[in-house]
Chains A and B, each alone.
Chain A
Amino acid sequence: MDIVSLLDATLRISAPLILVGMAGLLSYQVGLINIALEGMMLSGAFAAVVFGYELGSTWLGVLMAIVVGAALGALFALAVITLRANLIVAGLALNFLATGGTAYLMDILYNQSGTLAPEGLRKLPAVTIPLLEDIPVLGEMLSGHSPLVYVSWVMVPLTSIFLYRMVVGGHIRAVGEHPEAAQTAGISVQGMQYLALILGGMLCGLAGAHLSVGDLPLFRERMTNDRGFIALAAVYFAAARPRLTAVACLLFGFFEALQFRLQLRDTALPNEFLQMLPYLMVVIALVVISVRKEWRKGW
């Protein structure tokens, strides 16, 4: 097996996971379980293709994906925070809305079903890093990716700085941990929740754009393929620490890349097991965390 191309694929596959992971992390930090990541990502993917085609520029498509992600984040926040809908249920609803809505719009607007690959839409240009690309192995691995891959790497330290160095980030964490304390300190709890969900929506939109116009310029129904939940798994696995979450996303991306390779050959390890690995790991991680702190507690 070619290790270099495997790692190359890992980086490509984990990029959207990292972006969505950061989104999930933001809502985790503000105290909300965000089930709707999946739907926001899917809508972003769709928006990138549609607007990229209609506006004649893939980059404008990416921008609109972010806008659509933000809008859905705001919608979710409206339902959950202002209208006080149940978090999980509203999240499921948003996911349904995204799958149904994108497919419906695809049919209405382009009379297509299943896949939308408008002619003339180009994927984002790959980025070659001048000096790096000349280094034999490393260059092959790190250079030549879609630009959003590099964006996803930058997002990790940015998220970290945002949460731990900036005033707003501190407020978000305070709201997530002790809303009353934040409230009396003059911090708008709802404002912070809206902010975290909208920022999360933007990141999801970006992740979706990477899926649809980062590699092949096309949109497929349900193309996000539960990546939102894998990212959520990574967030829980890492207890919402930015760097650790990114590492978990890379790990899950690696599994997925590995599974593609294994599919091509006959191996003892069925790829379904690789697919369920992230989910199992979260369950195990949650168990370990609570075993460590439980039992001594009374109620």
Chain B
Amino acid sequence: MMILSGDPPRSRVLSALLIVIVALLALAPFLFPGAKPLNVATKICVFAALVASYDLLLGYTGTVSFAHTMFYGIGSYGIAIALYTLGPTWTAVGAGLACGLPLAVLLALAIGLFSLRVQAIFFAMITLAVASAFLVLASQLSGLTGGEDGRSFQLPELLRPGTVFAKGVFGITVSGRTLTYYIVFVGAAAMILALLRVVNSPFGRVLQAIRENRFRAEALGYRTVFHLTLANCIAALVAAFAGALNALWLRYAGPDTSLAFSIMLDILLMVVIGGMGTIYGAIIGAVIFILAQNYLQALMGLASSAAADAGLPLLPGLLHPDRWLLWLGLLFIASVYFFPTGVVGRLRGAARQ
């Protein structure tokens, strides 16, 4: 209970789901040694932390920000630029983190101080403008960022796929790639646990009070701009660290993988599907979304073929793999409609009854 900061999942089904997810992710290199499954597992880890940090903003303070991918991108580019320019050393990794993370926090501080005093909608617009400007900047400063092509780089020796630590451990080769995966896994887990600690602290309670009624919280003596800005900075720090982990895994940072607005939309969907203001929802949302994104097309292909073999009318066409985005969209509309409080909210509600 201590590790969860006194905030357990509060639903047996949810607890079981989380245990299964964490166990599968912890053993992923041994259970799913292929390249694609391991990529999916890593993406789930990175996005679970990234979405949890966004949940701190949206779910706990009610603040809508469109700059979250910018912080994620700063973390990614910090690592990429440092390793590209300084070479594949641990010093470069440290330098990337030492530049990227504070830069993300400073930008979040500046945005917060300038715009969290105004109404929520203006804050959202300002973050949108800043994030757009940063995307353009990253594309234009090609000498530093690699422009539209991004930056590929080499990892330190220890993290390279070619570095073999052991062969035949449960049938797989333990390599630098395995170590990188566990760095991502442990890093993401640490970030989520830290966020649980934050939201269950007195500071987290003030954030919830601000979400409910900002003026009421001020009438109790709380400086809401300070609390919102600090939450924004913590969220930016975690997002930047998640970006750094993602860059380490991909050995690349570019606009499409770290700054694109489609990532922001994915984060929003994952928060809503999982359940806002729960932190655990980030894990569930990331798992559902990323699995659907990666495997729905293949599943539909199988279903379409099966329907065609059975001679069923209409179904083969409806389930054609090319229509996977349509079904993904319908799936999300249905999940928001049937689970307005997200999967976690629904499961907790059922447990209360």
Q: Do A and B bind each other?
A: no
